[in-house]
Chains A and B, each alone.
Chain A
Amino acid sequence: MTSATAAASAATKSWPHDIYEVLKQFNVRQVPYVPDGGHAELISLIHADPQMRGISLTTEEEGIALLAGTALGGDRGVLLMQSSGVGNCINMLSLIKTCRIPFLTLVTMRGEYGEFNPWQVPMGSKVQACFELMDVQVLRARTPEEVRPTVAAGAAMALNGNTPTAVLLSQQLVGAKVFVK
């Protein structure tokens, strides 16, 4: 790649790529996830990186428990999920609080801006409240430009400051899922 094309590619990097770079910068190694369309590009980048370990879960609360083990063993980790998984995590968040486990999660939002599927709305609309009930700080990114600084702020709080933090990636950013008959 010439320096001109490298510069052009840097200028057009996607927000998932920005997240990937922040995770690298913070030396994140284990990335448990329940897949979501909004996280697909990031998950691919993680699996392609030999320094990182993408860990597919059967349910989101497994990721919380896994991160406790990650911390015991001295690795850094970040949990990826979509908004409907947040409710699954409530009781397991006790582990984060009781053992003071470093906790950062990046949540792609459904059930808010332009949502076609009403079944996503009850949980999606309560995501922030659920996290706050369990004393997880909530940050939000609404535009592609906001993603890098917001994820970096969340990572600094969670991984350097040990303040449990969730970054919500708004549906304006992810886009409403298009259902085609």
Chain B
Amino acid sequence: MPKSNRLERRKVVARLVRDRKELVVVTSLGSPTYDLADAGDHERNFYLWGAMGGAGVIGLGLAIAKPEIPVMVVVGDGEMLMGMGNFATIALQAPKNLTIVVLDNELYGETGSQTSHTSAGADLGTIASGSGIKNVLRVNTQAEVEELAVRVNSVGDGPTVAIVKIAAGDDKRVLPSRDGVWLKTRVQASLGTLPA
């Protein structure tokens, strides 16, 4: 697909969380965190500002602990390239309630838009399948975004990895809280998992 026809990241993320109920969302540092903040703050948003390469398995630990709650992890291609082993670790545990959404613009947008490996043939969808992930979706149209929105908000058919090729874009930074303890405590309070 020509890059000019690609989906816009902010619209995709906003749609995925629009009708959320139980959903918990973890975002990798950089643009995914700003995208989620732009869609509106929520007590079940866990924004990362670091921990690169760990977003997917943060979702896994949560998905195992709370199998009845849908968990979505939104990451960039750079995050997922650093944490490719996450796919194999998640596939082995096979949580039914976990979806990883990779917003792939083939760039390291946060650091000066250097091209990433996905611009030259590294295919995170194939890597996910080859790591044993049961459902790998390619999301290129609005209709596919609508289907993905249903899937990320439900439990039962995971784990899923969705590769969303997105336009490079130059969205305004929307900065949520950087207070990790507060963000953690807020999610725990919402889930009823605060330590006694």
Contacts and interface: CB of A to CB of B under 8 A. Distances in A.
B65 A62 contact: no
A75 B66 CA distance: 9
B33 to A, nearest CB: 14
A18 interface: no
A71 B92 CA distance: 20
B125 to A, nearest CB: 19
Tell me if B's interface is mostly helix, strand, loop or mixed.
helix
A55 interface: yes
Tell me if A's interface is mostly helix, strand, loop or mixed.
mixed
Interface residues of A, number: 35
A40 B33 CA distance: 39
Contacts, number: 125
B132 to A, nearest CB: 12
Interface stretch (A98-106, A108-116, A129-137): A98-106
Contact of A55 (B58, B89, B183): B89
A100 B181 contact: yes
A95 B60 CA distance: 16
B89 A70 contact: no
B130 interface: no
B83 to A, nearest CB: 8
A77 B50 contact: no
A30 B192 contact: no
Interface of B: 24, 26, 46, 49-55, 57-66, 69, 83, 85-86, 88-89, 92-93, 180-181, 183-184, 187-188, 191-195
Ranked nearest first, the 8 interchain pairs of A and B with the lowest CB-CB distance are A73-B65, A69-B61, A65-B54, A74-B193, A58-B85, A99-B180, A69-B62, A70-B61
